[in-house]
Amino acid sequence: MIGLRGILTKFRGKIWRNIKELGTINGQKCDRGKKGNDVEHVKLNLPDEQSCLDIKPLLSICRNLAVPQAAELLCREMQQLADLLTECQKGYQKAEYCLARRKLEEIEAFSKLIGLPVLERVARDVQNCIDFYDSVALSATMSRLLRMGEQSLTAIWDLQDRMH
């Protein structure tokens, strides 16, 4: 659980650092070219797409387990998903697209198994971007994959909290 909490904190920290830097260049306010027109407000449109958790696959997996064993199973599932997302992101950042694609296939299969249809679809979209060598779309869909991954982990985490 410590590793997962650290991953979620890292994602949130990265988003807030980017937000803080939006209205500045090298720590100074941006100038639009005319004197006195400094940027004071930056409109920020953050994507707001909700992760969808289909509870039926998880319930079928946990049906014959006691609450502590089911909670332990959910914890392992969350850790596995977090590890897959991290390895996929590393492959993408190093431009090792074969590695990233393998991890994306695992994320897609894993998402289907535990009931995360949106994450499954986004993983497939990222694979398509790799296949078509579309670097702009790859960057956008990879960011979306990481957002959906974080939201999926949070959804499973919330489910685990409700089990106690």
Cα within 13 Å of Cα(164), Cβ side = 8
For residue 67, count other CB atoms closer than 10 A to its CB.
Answer: 10
Q: Same domain for 116 and 40?
A: no
- 39-94 pLDDT, tens digit each: 455 555 556 666 677 778 877 777 777 878 877 888 888 899 999 999 999 999 99
Q: Same domain for 80 and 36?
A: no
In this prediction the pTM is 0.67
Q: Same domain for 42 and 56?
A: no
**Predicted local confidence at residue 18, as pLDDT:** 45
Category of 158 on φ-ψ map: left (φ > 0), alpha (ψ -120 to 50) or beta: alpha
Cα 101 to chain centroid distance, Å, stands at: 16
- Beta-carbon contacts of 53 under 8 Å, excluding residues fewer than 6 positions away, are 115, 116, 152, 155, 156, 159
- Residue 79: give the domain boundaries: 52-163
Q: Same domain for 71 and 36?
A: no
Structure tokens that stand for 146 in this block: 């990481």
- 83-124 pLDDT, tens digit each: 999 999 999 999 999 999 999 999 999 999 888 999 999 999
Q: Same domain for 40 and 85?
A: no
**Pick from 149, 153, 8: nearest CA to 76:** 153
